[in-house]
Chains A and B, each alone.
Chain A
Amino acid sequence: MMRDTQDTETSLAMISVEGVDKWYGQNQVLFDIDLQIAEGEMLCLIGPSGSGKSTLLRCINHLEEINTGRIRVGGDLIGYREKRGRLHELREKEACLQRVGIGMVFQQFNLFPHMTAMENIAFAPMKIKGVSRAEAEKRARTILERVGLGTKGNSYPSQLSGGQQQRVAIARAVALQPRVLLFDEPTSALDPELVGEVLEVMKDLVRTSQMTIVVVTHEMGFAREVADRVVFMADGRIIEQGAPRDVLDNPQNERTREFLSAVIR
């Protein structure tokens, strides 16, 4: 699908998803997704499991390849370069550079188990950005304190609770000072009593940073409180979107109503 690459909406958006289809083998999981996310916006992606919201998120930092359409972050085409109407795959170096600007927090934390919390956070700034060890560790300490783990710098992930691990993972993503931060169901793998501490850290980030944040979540209370916009997806399509109050409290679509009544009891 060819689209005008320079329309005005695109150039204003931090993240721009245009006409994206995604297939896994013979299964189509995303259908013609269009989504513009403004700089500094906080967007929550909600929907039943298998609706394609995580896949869409993973396409934004090119962990998954799309089959049609374009995804741009900060105006740059993700994963490709377009020359004379054809897409050329980016060299590894360029692809890595793009990802540095896009932080990601995973459902399963994916901390590096052989590194302490401090090393997990300071590692990428040192290796990727060439920050000195002293500087990287100083910054890591500041970030650790912000996520309430100032005393846990020397702990290995296995010595931390799930909630603490996820907070370290958030710190690790933030340490590279990305323009965009993606959260893939950050609280779904946590014990219920640990969800709150992670959500608090995320709320703090939303309030105090300029980052564009996209969160795939099932936490409707969180979405209502801090999201600028809520997007409801089902069966690989965007069904409904708008301000949290509108989508969550006054859903227009039957699918959205069904989903919300099942989630909010």
Chain B
Amino acid sequence: MTDTAAPRVNGTPEQATRPIKLNVVPVRHYGRAILAIVSAYALFSVVVGLWTNPNIEWPIVGEFLFSPSILTGLGSTLKISAVSMVVALVLAVIIAVMRISPSRIVSGFAAAYVFLFRGVPMIVLLIFVGNLGLFFKEFSLGVPFTDVALWSVPVKDVMTPFLASVIGLSLAGSGYMAEIVRGGLLSIGRGQHEAAKALGLNGNQALRYIVLPQALKVLLPPMGNELISMLKASAVVSVIAGGDLLTVALGISSVNFRTIELLIVATIWYLIVITILTIAQYFVEKRTAER
């Protein structure tokens, strides 16, 4: 960069149609230069290593990248993530509002919810939900402590891998998101609450029309990150055979023993989707910030 450029004498003053640069010898950043060389070398050797590795057959990557089963898996991943994001978001707002309730029982319930679902590793939670049929035989709606059942259905009939994945991801995600939403709600100053009150708005109206819309702006960046990481986390559902991209990739590799190639296929798709989401996040944030 500038390290190698020799300082030059400026043009004559009477021709100054552009800003004249002060004639300065720049400080040399030797550490920075060394780090640049090391990182360039690291990147180079990884790419070359992958590309020339005789154990990786790139044609197989190309072959499976657009194969119907991989695309179906990608579709499931997108579906599971999208549904989980929406469910988690709704749960998070409900829990966050409960968390700031004046009732100790209500806020205590919300605190316990956050504690539990933020504390339990997502993979453990998923295995629990996926195997719910093992310890609950049926879902039923009835009178507590009696055998009177108004409605009941066997767990193993309704608990599909898709549903289990969505429930596991939503619960785990909502624990984190609830704390983010709560932070957003608390960031709205007392003056806004008082102004809403003084106009005769009740608590619900103040929350819905005054506090939440403003909190949204504060929430958006961390929430966007949370949603993106939920897409990544959705790969975990492969442990309960959720039918997602990773499940499919691993399934194919167990047949043709091309594990690395299929992982590369999955990686490429994850990176593509996350790039798209990141770009979308950038534009959404930019639009909200303008207001």
**The stretch of A33-41, A121-129, A145-153, A214-222 that contacts the partner chain:** A121-129
Which residues on B sit within 8 Å (CB–CB) of A80? none
Given contacts A112-B210, A123-B209, is CB(A176)–CB(B199) below 8 Å? yes
Which residues on A sit within 8 Å (CB–CB) of B210? 112
A225 proximal to B (CB < 8 A): no
- Contact size range, A: 20 to 34
B260 proximal to A (CB < 8 A): no
Kindly state the separation between the CA atoms of A262 and B195 in the bound complex, as whole angstroms: 32
B201 proximal to A (CB < 8 A): yes
Partner of A103, one of B194, B198, B213: B198
Q: Once the chains bind, are A93 and B202 in contact (CB under 8 Å)?
A: yes
- Contact size range, B: 10 to 19
A196 proximal to B (CB < 8 A): no
Kindly state the separation between the CA atoms of A92 and B200 in the bound complex, as whole angstroms: 10
Which residues on A sit within 8 Å (CB–CB) of B197? 63, 99
Kindly state the separation between the CA atoms of A92 and B206 in the bound complex, as whole angstroms: 12
Q: Is the interface of B mostly helix, strand, loop or mixed?
A: helix
B191 proximal to A (CB < 8 A): yes
B192 proximal to A (CB < 8 A): yes
Given contacts A92-B203, A108-B191, A127-B209, is CB(A63)–CB(B291) below 8 Å? no
B187 proximal to A (CB < 8 A): no
B205 proximal to A (CB < 8 A): yes
Which residues on A sit within 8 Å (CB–CB) of B203? 92
Within 8 A of B (CB), among A123-145: 123-124, 127-128
B214 proximal to A (CB < 8 A): yes
Determine the residue in chain A with the shortest Cβ distance to B195: A110
Q: Once the chains bind, are B191 and A106 in contact (CB under 8 Å)?
A: yes
Q: Once the chains bind, are A92 and B194 in contact (CB under 8 Å)?
A: no
Within 8 A of A (CB), among B156-205: 191-192, 194-195, 197-203, 205
Determine the residue in chain B with the shortest Cβ distance to A111: B195
Q: List 11 A-B contacts (CB under 8 A).
A: A96-B201, A96-B202, A100-B199, A100-B200, A106-B195, A112-B210, A114-B213, A114-B217, A123-B199, A124-B201, A127-B201
Residues of B within 8 A of A (CB): 191-192, 194-195, 197-203, 205, 209-210, 213-214, 217, 291
